[in-house]
Amino acid sequence: MKRLHLHVVVESLPDAIRFYSGLLDTSPCCGGGNYANWRVDQPPLNLAASLADRPAGIAHFGLEVENPAELTTIDRVLHRHARTPGNIPWEVSVRKQPIREETRS
């Protein structure tokens, strides 16, 4: 099962944890001092919120796959495009292990 991945930058992590835990009806699975992560099956979502030295908003989208073989096709697509639509970077990763991040804009 693939999950959509969203990484958002927020100004207050406690506010973000309260909001997204309510919205997704679950607590973060993991996190740290400036980061929290929710993994949800219904809908399939890997949501990350972090503090960062940049304005709040979407940082990137991603697809989280279970099988490394699935990366090949997606990677090929991302490599072919010099620019992602909407100027939002896409990341592809195998579950729990980031592979690389697209930073095109």
Task: List residues near other proteins by CB under 8 A.
Answer: 1-4, 6-12, 15-16, 18-25, 35, 37, 42-46, 48-50, 52, 54-61, 63-64, 73-74, 77-78, 80-81, 84-91, 93, 96-98, 101-103, 105
Least Å distance, CB 102 to other proteins, is: 7
Residue 52 to residue 76: CA distance in whole angstroms: 29
Residues with Cβ within 8 Å of 1's Cβ and at least 6 positions away in sequence, in order, are 41, 44, 66
Least Å distance, CB 5 to other proteins, is: 8
Residue 11 to residue 56: CA distance in whole angstroms: 6
